[in-house]
A and B are shown apart, each in its own frame.
Chain A
Amino acid sequence: MAIQINTQQPDDLKNMPPEMAAEIEEVSKSRRDFMKVTGMAAMGAVIAGCTANERIVKPLVAQPEGIKLGVPYEYASTCQMCSANCGTVMKTRDGRPIKAEGNPQLPMNYSGLCASGQASLWNLYNPDRLHQPVAKDGSAKTWAEIDAAAKAAIGAGTVLLTGTISGAGARDVIARFCAKTGAKHVAYDAISAWTIAAAHRDTHGAAVIPRYRFDMADMIVSFGADFLGKWISPMEYSRQWAAKRDLRFGRKEMSRHIQLEARYSLTGANCDVRHRLPDSQRGAALVALAEALGANGKFGAAGKHGLAGGVIESLANELKASKGRSLVLAGNDSADNVKIQKLVNWINHTLENYGKTVDLRNHSQQKLGNDEALAQLLKDLEGGSVKTLIVYGVNPVYDLPDGDKFKELMAKAANTFAISDHADETASECAWIAADDDPNESWGDFEPQRGLHTLAQPLVRRLWDTRQGLHTLLVWGGLAAHGDKYYDVLKKFWETSVLVAGETFRSAVEMGFVDHRDSVVNNMPEMRDTGDMAGVGEVASGTGLEIIVYESYTVGEGRHANNGWLQELPDPLTRQSWTNGASICPATMAELGLEEGDLVEVTADIGGRKATCRVPVLRQPGATPGTVSIGLGYGRTKAGRIKHGLGVEADAVDEDTLAIGGRGYGFLGAGKAVFGSVSKVGKYHHLAKLQEHDSQEGRPLLKQTSFDLWKKNPANGNTHEIPPVALTVWPRWEYKGHKWGMVVDLNSCTGCGACVVACSVENNVPIVGKEEVWRRREMHWIRIDAYYEDAEHDGKLTNHENPEAGFQPMMCQHCENAPCETVCPVLATLHSEEGLNTQAYNRCIGTRYCANNCPYKVRRFNWFTYKYADLTMNLALNPDLTVRTQGVMEKCSMCAQRIYDGKRAAGLAGEKLRDGSIRTACQSSCPTNAIVFGDQNDPKSRVFELGKDARNYQVLAEINTRPAVTYLTKVRNRPSKPEEEALADRAIKRAAAKADTKHEGHDH
């Protein structure tokens, strides 16, 4: 539905349509000049208060039907930030989307939506998008011109290169296009999972990626598969994984998760037991595991792996004990190959996991790229048989291992067309670029899992003169005219080929999906022989360090590198933003004489091709010695203005300070472990880390215990002695009505960072750019602190070998005895009757006393007015909340606007507030439901119940701030550590001593 942008709220810039906002910018510029001259007079006038604030209100000529002014509407759609295609619910106001959330109905990701999904609005309003079709020189063209050129060029010898396209309707369009024009379709994924599909082709006769069921697995063994971070369908996996480990509300079961990996991944940080295993030894370890499971030498001899004796044996025993309820995975990274995946298939088959935790019937269609077809395309380009190349939605010059070569090969094709929303590295090499819509402007369909069909619908009128890519293909294939609507094509296809009796297209659009998974016929053959497995157990060797590349947790594969919210989001473990880095463990850093922040050049020779990448060194406790890991997605050169640091001209700034990081894709594509060298070339300026210190210094901030101890006493891990409060000058607050509170389950939190971006989008939290982050002036209202177990204590590393890591979301704790409230000289921060610590921006004069007095360091000061360089971005602002300006302190408000919306809805219905009807932005983004918000005064609420949980604790309880935000102890399903045992013992002794004194008291 195309909605006209409403112009009825001209009272502030944030509600302006782009063209009008631009005018205002003009006016205020000239006004500033005017002020310079007549400042005095004007000042007098303003102070006297005799100017009338004349404001124009310009109503629409006619209000669009069904749209009421200022009322938010929610539409089901599908996220297209990555190929996982999670379901979303988009909140729109006055014809513009302002917030993306997960679709709670969709039985895949449910309400969880990751950081990039949350940040999708940035892409929509991004002014760097193409505004019309352009030619290679950047000159604007009309659609008629580009269509004529394309129709003349497309025919036999045409190749259409795309990413994963899973939707039935979309695939039909491509099939029709290819049939009509004789074009060939090639799909590839920047971060490929082809090895899994190829392995299943060999072992099961179907090149598919299974749907993994973490919610049915009691025992998860992952060889480097980062399924909680960025692996095929991370939101779905996170949810399933957490559901099996949730110990709240009386649940007592917990799965066991063992991770064997080289780098320190997000999944490794959340597992129960983590073993360090270089990727080069993965095959050897898997063969050893297969042997222990009864392979009888089927896969040859296992090479020498570095795992401690007994690890593989105990793994095998545990896996055997949970046959049919276990899951073994191997990640798709540089060292991965088809043989390793076939071995994993054999192990899962031996453990009887197929049909249970490994589902081939409703297999994943989230990565449909075919590396073999891509390799053939490169050969065809080389051989000159490709006359016309259409690149749709992918950026091979950037994200193929040998992008430069692809650039050369592209030039061999006579005609090159790109369908892209911005002139990226590949599109800018094409003769024509057909400007693509943002996903929020167009219709689309997806089938992330076999049988689960989802729909995307447009939520805003096209901002620029763009055209949906699939429609462009229809036009170029002579199957539609420029003025036709893709909606008609999609609706017709769905009505004939997707929907079954009783379903209408309208109801499917309303829900956002139709679920036909149960009616998919299971025609998957049984496991065959694994075939040739020679050399699978060999350990690759080489000189120098082992180089590992992985999809970044922030900007992902790099397509969205121009997204400020994602750039400012720190890596969950290394905590740096605005760049990637070379993560090296402290021991190896010392060996190489490197320090954190050194700029290094990482080089490797991959089959005669030299791969290189310049990145800063990042200290990563727990990384495998002798390895260096580099996040992908950075190093874009034609991403947009973000690479220059928010449009600020990079004059006199060293190139290294630019926020582009290094391109790591060169290290992919070897099919075995890559070895190379790391050499220092200088110092990286402004390494923007959002957390410098990763130790708790012995304080129980993030409490954790073992599952065994928890089973003995749920309070274990939470029995630290807190000195009693002898004296307080403050009277206790009395909360008569609601008392808002939040409980964060540290056992569920994976540290993914979705809540950070969700909060920024919901609450108009600005991004500040790399240099300001480096000055510790980030503005995030919620941050996720990462702590390594005893990572650094007294300046010495006590456990830098393989420390456990934990994550703790930290936002304003809304203390009852709030230290900030007592020091504000102007009463800008006050306690509300409902237990919230409120901040009135208009009162704040910016003394920053409150931030200095905050023990949790959650208050943020606006050192500048962080205006968007281009006012189109203002359309992404939430109109329900002030846009703060320079000199104002701000912090988490527990989404006050949502609280009042919830109250209003209840008042309207004449009901009492239901528990769960108000959801804060962080809570609703969380894929694992780690955050629960509610009324602590309501004895039926979940926060009330969790408040009584034995695991519940307050951070820094000893200072008696009495926070409204409390946490639940983290529990790991692994043997207890001595300090955890000691803590439990002390609690028992204390209880005994207390009982004794009581007893004595009775005697006397």
Chain B
Amino acid sequence: MNAKLAVIFFFLTFGFSMPVLLGFRDVYDIQLPNLHTYYQPEQPIPFSHRWHAGVLNMDCQYCHTSADHSRHAGIPNVSTCWNCHEKVLGKTTTAQENITKVRNAYLKGESVEWKRVHNVADFVYFNHQTHVRIAKFIDEEGKVHDGFSCQTCHGPMENAGVARQAENLSMGWCVNCHRDWNEKYEKAGIERFAPVNACDACHR
């Protein structure tokens, strides 16, 4: 009897949120917000951003090629890795093992199944190009630049090892930054590209 009551109580309490939380995600396979700051899944190849972006000082967009012209930043094609790793085989044993993995993938014509780190919900239409190339960034000296640095949202990736989520990517986090910059734009007299309060800028 008590168990039955508990079930009824449970459904009364959570019944309304169930379709949203359970139904959407599992029946329709929809991505819900993933607010995991510091989310760092294990990757098939422990690619080091510190080595490539930090020590070797490679440009982010050498690999994430579409960041400045598309909605998606893009995960590099295996052929991009091959550009260097055709010749670069690695010095340490671990490095050699990992490089062999990606070389084999290329030679076999197979892809690498990376784990996606930065997940915004499916109903959010974030655009990389807007932020990296079009939005105006005003530096401390008051100079205006086209586009923000990748680190603004992704943190100092050049110091990270395997890719890790630096911010929680929640709507509040987005909107706070937009509001701050809105004020700065108004002060600097820069025409805004997108209204900060429009829902349809991200949700459509």
Contact with A along B168-203 (1 / 0, CB 8 A): 000000000000000000000001111101111101
Which B residue's beta carbon lies closest to that of A64?
B77
- B112: Cβ under 8 A from any A Cβ: yes
Who on chain A is nearest to B21 by CB? A46
Interface residues of A in 873-929 (CB under 8 A from B): 880-882, 885, 887, 893, 896-897, 899-900, 903-904, 907-908
Give CA–CA (A938, B22) in the complex, Å: 47
- Known contacts: A11-B116, A47-B14. The answer to whether A53 contacts B32 by CB under 8 A is yes
What is the minimal beta-carbon distance from A904 to any residue of chain B, in angstroms? 6
In the complex, A70→B125 CA distance in Å?
Answer: 12
* B133 interface contact, C-beta 8 A: yes
B116 touches A56 (CB 8 A): yes
Contacts A70-B66, A833-B198, A838-B200 given; indicate if A897 touches B115 (C-beta within 8 A): no
**CB of A579, distance to nearest CB on chain B (Å):** 31
- The answer to whether A56 touches B114 (Cβ under 8 A) is yes
B163 CB, nearest partner CB in chain A, Å: 11
Query: How many Å lie between the Cα of A766 and that of B68 in the bound state?
Result: 33
Please tell me the number of chain A residues within 8 Å of chain B, measured between CB atoms. Answer: 62
Minimal Cβ-Cβ distance residue in B for A827:
B199
Interface residues of A in 1-30 (CB under 8 A from B): 7-13, 24, 28
Q: Which of A11, A53, A63, A896 contacts B79 (CB 8 A)?
A: A63
Q: What are the residues of chain B within 8 A of A908 when measuring CB–CB?
A: 129, 133-134
The docked-state distance in angstroms from the alpha carbon of A49 to that of B114 is 23
Assuming the A-B contacts A69-B70, A908-B133, are A61 and B199 also in contact, with contact meaning beta carbons closer than 8 angstroms in the complex? no
Q: B22 to A11, Cβ gap below 8 A? A: no
Report B-chain residues with C-beta under 8 Å of the C-beta of A899: 200
- CB within 8 Å for A907 and B21 given contacts A58-B113, A832-B200: no
Partner of A61, one of B69, B78, B200, B204: B78
Closest to A14 in B: B122
Is residue A68 contacting chain B, with contact meaning CB distance below 8 A? yes
Interface window among B52-60, B90-98, B103-111, B152-160: B103-111
* B114 and A57 within 8 A (CB): yes
Please give the distance in Å from B110's CB to the nearest CB on chain A. 7
Known: A43-B22, A865-B28. A61 touches B41 (CB 8 A): no
Complex Cα distance, B112 from A609, in Å, reads: 66
Complex alpha-carbon distance, A839 and B79, angstroms: 41
Residues on B with C-beta less than 8 A from A53 are: 31-32, 34, 119
Known: A11-B116, A832-B199, A908-B133. A897 touches B204 (CB 8 A): yes
With a cutoff of 8 Å between Cβ atoms, the chain B residues found around residue A865 in the complex are: 28
CA distance A59 to B113 in the complex (A): 8
B69 contacts across to A, CB distance below 8 A = 68, 71
Q: Measured between alpha carbons, how far is A105 from B106 in the docked complex, in Å? A: 43
Set of chain B residues within 8 Å of A833, measured between Cβ atoms: 195, 197-198
Contact B199 A59 (CB under 8 A): no
Residue from the list B41, B75, B204 in contact with A8, Cβ < 8 A: B75
Nearest B residue to A16 by beta-carbon distance?
B29
Q: Is the C-beta of B18 less than 8 angstroms from some C-beta in chain A?
A: yes
Residues of A within 8 A of B65 (CB): 63, 68-69
Q: Is A701 an interface residue (CB 8 A)?
A: no
B77 — which chain A residues lie within 8 A by C-beta? 59-63
Return the chain A residue nearest B134 by Cβ.
A907
Kindly state whether residue A810 has any CB partner on chain B within 8 Å.
no
Cα distance, A903 to B194, chains bound together (Å): 8
Q: Are B26 and A32 in contact (CB under 8 A)?
A: yes
What is the CA–CA distance of A63 and B72 in the complex, to the nearest angstrom? Answer: 14
Contact A842 B201, beta carbon cutoff 8 Å = no
In contact, B114 and A70 (Cβ under 8 angstroms)? no
Minimum CB distance partner of A31 in chain B: B26
Chain B residues, Cβ within 8 Å of A843 = 203
Distance in Å: Cβ of A606 to nearest Cβ of chain B: 52
Min CB–CB distance A716 → chain B (angstroms): 38
- Give, as a whole number of angstroms, the nearest-CB distance from B35 to chain A: 8
Does B9 interact with chain A (Cβ within 8 Å)? no
A880 contacts across to B, CB distance below 8 A: 71, 125, 204
Contact B70 A71 (CB under 8 A): yes
Task: Tell yes or no: A55 within 8 A of B by CB.
Answer: yes
Question: What's the Cα separation between A194 and B192 when bound, in Å?
Answer: 60
- In the bound complex, do residue B72 and residue A70 qualify as a contact, i.e. CB atoms below 8 Å apart? yes
Determine if B199 and A904 form an interchain contact, defined as CB atoms under 8 angstroms apart: no
Q: How far is the CB of B146 from chain A (nearest CB, A)?
A: 9
Report the interface size for chain B: residues with CB under 8 A from the other chain: 65
A29 to B92 Cα, complex, angstroms: 45
Please report which residues of chain A, range 826-846, place their CB below 8 angstroms from some CB of chain B when the two chains form the complex: 830, 832-834, 836, 838-843
A97 to B116 Cα, complex, angstroms: 26
Answer yes or no: A648 CB below 8 A from chain B CBs: no
Q: Are A54 and B41 CB-contacts (below 8 A) given A840-B203, A842-B121?
A: yes
From A12, A28, A55, A737, give the contact of B26 (CB < 8 A).
A28
- The verdict on B24 contacting chain A, using a C-beta distance below 8 Å, is yes
Instruction: Tell me if B145 counts as interface (CB < 8 A to partner A).
Output: no
A52 touches B34 (CB 8 A): yes
Tell yes or no: A725 within 8 A of B by CB.
no
Task: Tell me the bound Cα distance from A679 to B201 in angstroms.
Answer: 57
B200 touches A896 (CB 8 A): yes
CB nearest neighbor in B for A9 = B72
Say yes or no for A727: interface residue by CB 8 A criterion: no
- Asked whether A61 and B134 contact (CB < 8 A) given A11-B119, A47-B14, A71-B70, the answer is no
Residues of chain B contacted by A897 (CB below 8 angstroms):
125, 204
Q: A31-B26, A63-B77, A897-B204 are in contact. Are A58 and B66 (CB under 8 A)?
A: no
**In the bound complex, how far is the Cα of B41 from the Cα of A915, in angstroms?**
47
By beta carbon, the residue of chain A nearest B133 is A908
At the interface, yes or no: A40 with Cβ under 8 Å from chain B?
yes
Complex CA distance for A60 and B110, rounded to whole angstroms:
8
Q: Say yes or no for B1: interface residue by CB 8 A criterion.
A: no
Contact with A along B1-39 (1 / 0, CB 8 A): 000000000100010011101101111111110111001
CB proximity of A793 to chain B, nearest CB, Å? 41
In the complex formed, the residue of B with least CB distance to A905 is B134
Closest chain-B Cβ to A737's Cβ sits at a distance in Å of 7
Select from chain A the residue with minimum beta-carbon distance to B125: A880
Question: Given the interface contacts A56-B115, A908-B133, does A46 sit within 8 Å of B25 by beta carbon?
Answer: yes
Contact between A832 and B22, CB atoms less than 8 A apart: no
Q: Which residues of A, 49-99, contact B by the 8 Å Cβ criterion? A: 49, 52-63, 68-71
Q: Are A47 and B199 in contact (CB under 8 A)?
A: no
Task: Mark each residue of chain A from 134 to 173: 1 if its CB lies under 8 Å from any CB of chain B, else 0.
Answer: 0000000000000000000000000000000000000000
Residue ID in chain B nearest A880 by CB atoms = B125
Q: Return A15 CB to nearest CB of chain B, in Å.
A: 10
In the complex, A307 has a CB within 8 A of chain B = no
- Whether a CB of chain A sits under 8 angstroms from the CB of B48 is no
Tell me whether A904 and B127 are in contact (CB under 8 A).
yes
In the complex, the answer to whether A52 meets B76 with C-beta atoms within 8 Å is no
Residues A69 and B198 in contact in the complex (CB < 8 Å), given A28-B29, A897-B204: no
With contact pairs A61-B106, A907-B134 given, residues A881 and B17 touching in the complex (Cβ less than 8 Å)? no
Contact of A737 among B25, B192, B200 (CB under 8 A): B192
Does A650 interact with chain B (Cβ within 8 Å)? no
**B74 near A59: Cβ-Cβ < 8 Å:** yes
B114 contacts across to A, CB distance below 8 A: 56-59
Residues of B within 8 A of A882 (CB): 122-123, 203-204
Q: Are A842 and B123 touching (Cβ within 8 A)?
A: yes
A35 close to chain B: CB less than 8 A:
yes
The minimal Cβ–Cβ distance linking A426 to chain B, given in whole angstroms, is 40
19 sample A-B contacts, Cβ–Cβ < 8 Å, listed by A number: A8-B74, A11-B122, A12-B29, A28-B27, A35-B22, A47-B21, A53-B34, A61-B79, A68-B70, A69-B66, A70-B66, A737-B195, A832-B197, A833-B198, A839-B200, A841-B123, A880-B71, A882-B204, A896-B204
A11-B116, A880-B125, A896-B200 known, 11 other contacts, Cβ within 8 Å: A28-B26, A32-B27, A47-B21, A52-B34, A52-B36, A68-B66, A69-B72, A832-B199, A882-B203, A897-B204, A903-B194
Which 9 pairs across A and B sit closest by C-beta, in order of nearness?
Answer: A70-B70, A896-B200, A62-B79, A833-B195, A832-B198, A907-B134, A55-B116, A838-B199, A838-B200
